[in-house]
Structure 1
Amino acid sequence: MADLSYTTVGSNRLPEAKGFYDALLGSIGMTALFEHPSGGRIYGKAGKLSFGVLGPFDGQPATVGNGSMSGFSFDSGEEVAAFHAKAIELGGTDDGAPGERAPKMHFAYFRDLDGNKLCGFSVG
């Protein structure tokens, strides 16, 4: 059985994006694993790749994928809200305030500095 193992977003502002993700992902225990050849950075936890912010391989400007989103799983609605708050504090923009979207399902949506959409969620 295969599992999704990592996701990436593109950025046209890599120095600022790396600062944003260093702080945001650091707040949930993820660290920079290595620098990407595009000038970006790859993050993970326990040595496993999880997330990357990079310059596009084709050398063209990064664009936001309409309908694309990366989700981060948490154990509680409180952790979801804290992740969302950290993103906003770092200059991200709200794209759906933290809240219960269905019974025992909490979600919060935001966009990073380049407009990439991310989600924090908890189920159960």
Structure 2
Amino acid sequence: MLGYVTVGTNDLPRAAKFYDAIAAEMGVGRMMDFESFIAWGAWGGPPGIAATTPFDGKPASVGNGMMVALEAKDRDQVHKLHEIALTNGGSDEGAPGPRGEADENGMVFYAAYFRDPDGNKLNAFVMAKTE
């Protein structure tokens, strides 16, 4: 159902640096690269993410309550993505760790939260066995 998610930016080169690093850790690269729009992912793969300067020419702003969730392959990658985000101009919104209680199968939602340099909120998550 979901094809891709787009976040707004007021500085596409800065956003590109941030998302290039995140995408590389997730094993993908740029799918499309235009003057005002860059998309990361893999053709025929899971949904991707894009950064764009707004079409209407007005400044990009952060959607209150909006967040992009990036599915990690394991807990280590959750930590790595959080670290990459902070190293590339992002800010911390919640250190990596379990959220909530384990389900009946012993699985827990394990996540880290961060913002990109424009303030868009993201998280990296995995459903993992409790330790």
Q: CA RMSD in A?
A: 1.5
In the alignment, structure 1 residue 54 sits paired with structure 2 residue 31: no
The residue number in structure 1 matching 2:11 is 13
Can you list the C-alpha shifts for 1:22-65, whole angstroms capped at 9, x where unaligned? 1221121121111235x221111245461100011221110000
- What is the match of residue 45 of structure 1? 42
- Residue 75 of structure 1: which of 73, 76, 79 is its match? 73
Unaligned 5+ segments in structure 1 are: none
Show structure 1 runs of 4+ deviating over 6 A. none
Structure 2 unaligned blocks of 5 or more? 103-107
1:99 is the counterpart of 2:97: yes
TM-score with structure 2 length normalisation? 0.85
Percent of aligned positions with the same letter in both sequences?
40
Deviations for 1:55-91, whole angstroms, at most 9, x for unmatched residues?
1122111000011000011232221111111111111
Q: Partners of 1:107 and 1:67 in 2: how far apart?
A: 17
TM, length-normalised to structure 1? 0.90
For the Cα contact (< 8 Å) 1:36–1:54, is it kept in 2? Answer: no
How many residue pairs align between the two structures? 121
Q: Which residue of 2 aligns with 1:23?
A: 21
Query: What SS is found at the alignment partner of 1:7?
Result: strand
